[in-house]
Amino acid sequence: MLTDMLLLLPTTLIDGLVLGLIYASIALGYTMVYGVLGLINFAHSEVFMVGAIVAIEVLIYGLAGTGLHPLIQLVVAIAVGGLAAGFLAVAIERVAYRPLRVRNAPRLVPLITTIGVSLFLQDSVRFVESLFGQFIRPFPSFPFFNRQIVLSETVFISNRTLAIIVLAVTLLAGLYYMVHRTRLGKAMRAVALDQKTSQLMGINVNKVIATTFFIGGVAGGVAGVLYALQFGRMDPFSGFIPGIKAFTAAVLGGIGSVEGAVLGGVLLGILEVVLGTYIPMWTNNAIGTEYKDIIAFSILILILIFRPNGLVGRAYAEKV
């Protein structure tokens, strides 16, 4: 059995990494919005879902039969899906959250609103998609993505896996650079620390908040497309679970921190896949793959008991 386990290990780790990078990309949206507003945006999982569905529709109705290389089709679909998700996130902020903010609503109110927006979007998308047939949208199949690259006798990697890893790492690196090295990123960090003083520096706080929603939304939408590519489908309700897991990843890493979101996402993805693969083997299938979340989340709770601010979280109070 040990040799079986060792044989499976590289593939398992790669699958875990793929899932983890997707979680990390979703987690960024939670963590960036939490950073600037202290708000947990539960509607982010629907932004993720809409990005994926728009991309699938673009592939089916816009690009099918064009004969373009699958990678180019994927990149175009990601661009459109990501932008749609970004604009949706901005619209949600403008319509549902900003009015509460300017009226100084207690913190619980916008939180409840995010849950309301989440449910609203799930059923709106279900309604619209149902008009055109079934609302479960399979990701169009491209033989290209199933092709395997042989790394060694026992280790293969598919074009799909490789594409997801490259795209997700590019996205995460781009966002890291944006937050830490650009003028906009500096403004976002300043607004996260102190909105009033940011205004005194000439920063338009509302604009920065909207931009944060846009960037987080784009990242979530792109993650949605990659998730649909990996698992082959998306439906109006399948944003919820990955959304909750990505939120967990953000908390695990230390909410408000970009590095934390990436670390937490990758860790959660690898834990989930590794445990889902090995636990049935260790227990002779007495405990099946379906229990992977229980075990993964138990480990997360344990980590948080000892590091309540997350793996890279801030341990001290911000305000003087």
Partner 1 sequence: MTIETTKGPLLEVRDLHVYYGHVQALKGISFHVNEGEIVTLIGGNGAGKTTTLHTLSKLLTPRSGEILLGGQPIHKIDADEIVRTGITHVPEGRRIFSRLTVRENLEIGAYLLTSKTEITRRIEASFELFPRLRERERQYGGTLSGGEQQMLAIARALMLDPRIILLDEPSMGLSPLFVEKIFEIIQSVNKSGKTVVLVEQNALMALEIAHRGYVLQSGHVVMGGDADLLAKDPSVQSAYLGGEIAAAL
What residues make contact with partner 1 under the rule CB under 8 A?
Answer: 183, 186-187, 189-190, 193-194, 196-205, 314, 318, 320
Please report how close the Cβ of residue 207 comes to partner 1 at its closest, in angstroms: 9
Say how far residue 69 (Cα) sits from the centre of its chain.
26
Please report how close the Cβ of residue 200 comes to partner 1 at its closest, in angstroms: 5
Evaluated on CA atoms 283, 285, 289, 295, the torsion sign reads negative
Considering the complex, state which of residue 198 and residue 212 has its C-beta at the smaller distance from partner 1: 198
Amino acid in position 243? G
Q: State the Cα–Cα distance between residues 213 and 103, nearest whole angstrom.
A: 20
Cβ-based burial of 76 (10 A; exposed 0-12, middle 13-18, buried ≥19): middle
Residues 53/129, Cβ–Cβ less than 8 Å? yes
Considering the complex, state which of residue 4 and residue 318 has its C-beta at the smaller distance from partner 1: 318
Considering the complex, state which of residue 290 and residue 318 has its C-beta at the smaller distance from partner 1: 318
Considering the complex, state which of residue 61 and residue 196 has its C-beta at the smaller distance from partner 1: 196
Residues with Cβ within 8 Å of 158's Cβ and at least 6 positions away in sequence, in order, are 145, 146, 147, 148, 149
Helices (H), 194-257: 195-200, 205-231, 240-253
Considering the complex, state which of residue 209 and residue 226 has its C-beta at the smaller distance from partner 1: 209
Please report how close the Cβ of residue 3 comes to partner 1 at its closest, in angstroms: 49
Say how far residue 214 (Cα) sits from the centre of its chain.
14
Please report how close the Cβ of residue 107 comes to partner 1 at its closest, in angstroms: 19
> And the tokens for 50?
């809409």
Considering the complex, state which of residue 203 and residue 304 has its C-beta at the smaller distance from partner 1: 203
CB atoms closer than 10 angstroms to residue 158: 16
Q: What separation in angstroms does the CA of 14 have from each of 121, 160, 270, 280?
A: 33, 12, 8, 19
Considering the complex, state which of residue 147 and residue 314 has its C-beta at the smaller distance from partner 1: 314
Please report how close the Cβ of residue 305 comes to partner 1 at its closest, in angstroms: 25
> And the tokens for 126?
């279900």
Considering the complex, state which of residue 40 and residue 187 has its C-beta at the smaller distance from partner 1: 187
Please report how close the Cβ of residue 257 comes to partner 1 at its closest, in angstroms: 10
Please report how close the Cβ of residue 192 comes to partner 1 at its closest, in angstroms: 8
Please report how close the Cβ of residue 306 comes to partner 1 at its closest, in angstroms: 23
CB atoms closer than 10 angstroms to residue 152: 7
